[in-house]
């Protein structure tokens, strides 16, 4: 028996004659955390907007508690939409107090002042902002503002909370806080949480289930170091341009837009330029350290984030720390093309 609180079947979304979403089936169970993982442009935000009933698919069905939604009356769709809410990547806050911002959804729903006060207190407690009620939003840090927006979403007591890249624009301290809030939401109020991220490590840290999406389709697993860009030929060699001043040498017959990935275990980390035939070498700074049993996963900012994996023994011998400057080196032949 299918006990999904929300599910989609044969879902398709088309923009400018291009299919940007093509999903046969996807279901979400009650009181669980789901991460939708994929690179920029993979369809994550479009999927969240469709699930939250903000965008209508061109084909397919959406069910909330086994009730088909799309072909329902507008009043019924609005009623179901009030059971869920979405926090955007760049959420809007009114130029007022924290209290007034968090209260907005309750006022729209004509909730009594007494109930408003209790819910706002509970929501601010949940995100760790008790005592911020009278703070002006222009006095908040980026991380605090993000927590206010989450409180504003929680205060309406949604059955499903959607979060689009909730930690993209905040510092590491607030990233850790927001991750704890997401876990607390599941533990304390049993709300189903569906969030998008391009951070695979974050997805596996937080989610009960990770859903991988690439080019609008569900795949078994999104690999690490996955990038979207374009292959060009220069001086008889093939290069993948991933950012304005960053390109990877690779072996390919293809030209044009593609996805590529690099296995973290194929990337060599060193303090000095690594002497080898490998054509890809980048100087960067360690920005994240994640320990995994006898291995250590390092995220290095070389202009884009690259993840590499080394043994714990190597990590200790090299005396690596956050901020350490290192070289990452890999061969053109290890770049996988999709």
pLDDT of 1 reads: 56
Chain centroid to Cα 49, Å, comes to: 14
Same domain for 210 and 75? yes
56: its two tokens: 């209508």
**Residue-by-residue DSSP string for 151-165:** HHHHTT--SEEEEES
Range of the domain at 292: 226-337
Are residues 213 and 268 located together in one domain of the fold? no
Does residue 286 contact residue 330 with C-beta atoms inside 8 Å? no
Mean of the pLDDT values across residues 238-267? 93
Query: Which percentage of the chain shows pLDDT scores above 90?
Result: 77
Pair (48, 171) in one structural domain: yes
Give the model's confidence band at 200: pLDDT under 50 very low, under 70 low, under 90 confident, else very high: confident
Query: Quick check: is 96 in a domain?
Result: yes
Is the pLDDT assigned to residue 219 strictly greater than 80?
yes
**pLDDT tens-digit series, residues 146-159:** 999 999 999 999 99
Q: Which residue has the tokens 């996955």?
A: 226
Domain count across the chain: 2
pTM as predicted: 0.79
- Looking at the domain assignment, is residue 131 inside a domain? yes
Residues 289 and 212 in one domain: no
Report residue 136: phi and psi, to 5°.
-75, 145
Domain-located, residue 289:
yes
Say how far apart CA 126 and CA 120 lie, in whole Å: 10
For residue 314, what pLDDT is reported?
A: 95
Where is 232: in which H helix or E strand?
strand 226-234
The token pair that represents 184 in the structure block: 């607390």
Distances (CA, A) of 115 to 107, 108, 155, 278: 11, 13, 10, 64
Residues 241 and 134 in one domain: no
Query: Where is pLDDT greater, at 24 or 293?
Result: 24
């Amino acid at each position: 028996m299918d006990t999904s609180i929300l599910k989609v079947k044969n879902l398709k979304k088309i923009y400018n004659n291009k299919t940007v979403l093509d999903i046969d089936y996807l279901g979400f169970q009650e009181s669980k955390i789901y991460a939708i993982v994929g690179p920029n442009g993979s369809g994550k935000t479009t999927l969240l907007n469709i699930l939250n009933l903000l965008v209508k698919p061109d084909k397919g069905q959406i069910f909330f508690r086994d009730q088909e939604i799309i072909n329902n009356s507008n009043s019924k769709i609005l009623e179901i939409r009030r059971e869920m809410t979405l926090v955007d990547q760049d959420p809007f806050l009114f130029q007022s107090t924290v209290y007034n911002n968090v209260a907005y959804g309750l006022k729209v729903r004509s909730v009594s002042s007494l109930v408003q006060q209790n819910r706002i207190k509970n929501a601010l407690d949940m995100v760790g902002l008790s005592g911020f009620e009278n703070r002006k939003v222009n006095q908040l840090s980026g991380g605090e503002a993000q927590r206010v927006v989450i409180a504003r979403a929680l205060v309406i007591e949604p059955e499903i909370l959607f979060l689009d890249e909730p930690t993209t624009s905040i510092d590491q301290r607030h990233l850790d806080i927001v991750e704890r809030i997401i876990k607390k939401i599941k533990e304390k109020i049993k709300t189903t949480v569906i969030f998008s991220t391009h951070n695979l490590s974050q997805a596996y840290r937080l989610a009960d289930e990770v859903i991988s999406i690439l080019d609008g389709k569900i795949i078994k697993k999104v690999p690490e170091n996955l990038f979207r860009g374009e292959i060009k030929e220069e001086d008889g060699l093939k290069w993948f341009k991933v950012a304005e001043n960053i390109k990877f040498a690779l072996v390919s017959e293809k030209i044009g837009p593609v996805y590529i990935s690099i296995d973290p275990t194929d990337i060599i980390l060193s303090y000095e330029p690594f002497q080898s035939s490998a054509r890809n070498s980048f100087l960067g700074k360690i920005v994240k350290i994640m320990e995994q049993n006898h291995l250590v996963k390092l995220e290095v900012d070389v202009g884009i984030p690259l993840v590499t994996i080394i043994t714990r023994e190597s990590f200790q011998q090299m005396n690596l720390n956050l901020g350490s400057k290192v070289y990452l080196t890999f061969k053109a032949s290890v770049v996988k093309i999709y």
